[in-house]
Amino acid sequence: MNLNENHFQIFGVPARFGMDLEALETRYHELQREVHPDRFTAASQAEQRVSMQLATRVNEAYQTLKSPLRRAEYLLHLQGVDPEFETNTAMPEEFLADQMEKREQLEAAVAASDWQRLIALSSDLRQGQDSLLSKIDRQLEAQGWNEAAATLRQLKFLEKLGEEIGAAEESMDS
């Protein structure tokens, strides 16, 4: 393993969206068993430094590969495709309308401290994410990079909504 390898190479798995998460975790633990700083407390300082770099790298790779959204983003990055999260705000009208409505529902649920509605919104959101993830899986397999980038932008939107729901839960909790 060297620091120039990409995340997939570090884990020795094919660079594709489909991922066996259990096998990935097993591999993660095997790698950390070898490189984690706890294994090098008696080693030379040079080895300790390398150990920290590699353990950091393995963590970064694992976090990226584990999350479908970040994995998709990384696959596009390897293809040199920029998902243009900041600049490209063109979205299908239907999607935007749906998002507006969900955000209004969220506000209403918070205003009424309505846990049930919050939970319903969460599960709604998860369904939406799942369907976009199967879509992006097909697009990436077909090497439709630009289509995949468009789907990724929508997923990012949903992720933000998810964070807002989480924040709402937190504020209602305290």
Partner 1 sequence: MALLQISEPGQSPAPHEQRLAVGIDLGTTNSLVATVRNGIAVVLNDHVGQGLLPSIVRYFRDGRTAVGRDAEREQSRDPKNTIVSVKRFMGRGLKDVTHAENSPYDFVDSPGMVQLRTAAGVKSPVEVSAEILKVLRARAEEALAGELAGAVLTVPAYFDDAQRQATKDAGRLAGLNVLRLLNEPTAAAIAYGLDNAAEGIYAVYDLGGGTFDISILKLSKGVFEVMATNGDAALGGDDFDQRLFCWVVERVKLAPLSAEDTRLLLVESRAAKEFLTAHDEARISTRLASGEAVDITVTQTEFQEMTRQLVAKTLAPTRKALRDAGLDVADIKGVVMVGGATRMPHVQRAVGELFRQAPLNNLDPDKVVALGAAIQAGVLAGNRRSGDDWLLLDVIPLSLGVETMGGLAEKVIPRNSTLPIARAQEFTTFKDGQTAMSIHVVQGERELVADCRSLARFELRGIPPMAAGAARIRVTFQVDADGLLAVSARESTTGVQAAIAVKPSYGLTDEQITRMLRESLDHARDDVQLRVLKEQQVEGERMLEAVENALRDDADLVSAEESGALRADLDALRRTLTCNDHRTIKSAIERVNRATEDFAGRRMDRAVKRALAGRKVESL
Size of the site for partner 1 (CB under 8 A): 40
Interface pattern 49-78 for partner 1 (x via CB under 8 A):
xxxx-xxx--xx-xx---------------
Q: Rule CB under 8 A: is residue 32 a binding residue for partner 1?
A: yes
Q: Rule CB under 8 A: is residue 19 a binding residue for partner 1?
A: no
In this chain, which of 86, 93, 94, 173 binds partner 1, going by CB under 8 A? 173
- Contacts for 84-91 with beta carbons within 8 Å, 24 or more apart? 84/149, 84/153, 85/153, 85/156, 88/153, 91/153, 91/154, 91/157
CB of 149 to partner 1, least distance (A): 23
- Quick one: 100 or 167, whose CB is closer to partner 1? 167
Give the CA angle between residues 112, 116, 117 to the nearest 5°: 65
Closest-CA residue to 13 (of 22, 2, 24): 24
Contact 165, 123 (CB under 8 A): no
CB of 80 to partner 1, least distance (A): 20
CB of 141 to partner 1, least distance (A): 18
CB of 9 to partner 1, least distance (A): 10
Contact 55, 41 (CB under 8 A): no
- Quick one: 23 or 97, whose CB is closer to partner 1? 23
**Residue 166's Cα: distance from chain center in Å?**
16
H, E, C per residue of 88-111: CCCCCHHHHHHHHHHHHHHHHHHH
Would you tell me which residues interact with partner 1 (CB under 8 A)?
1-2, 12-14, 23, 27, 29-38, 41-47, 49-52, 54-56, 59-60, 62-63, 166, 169-170, 173-174
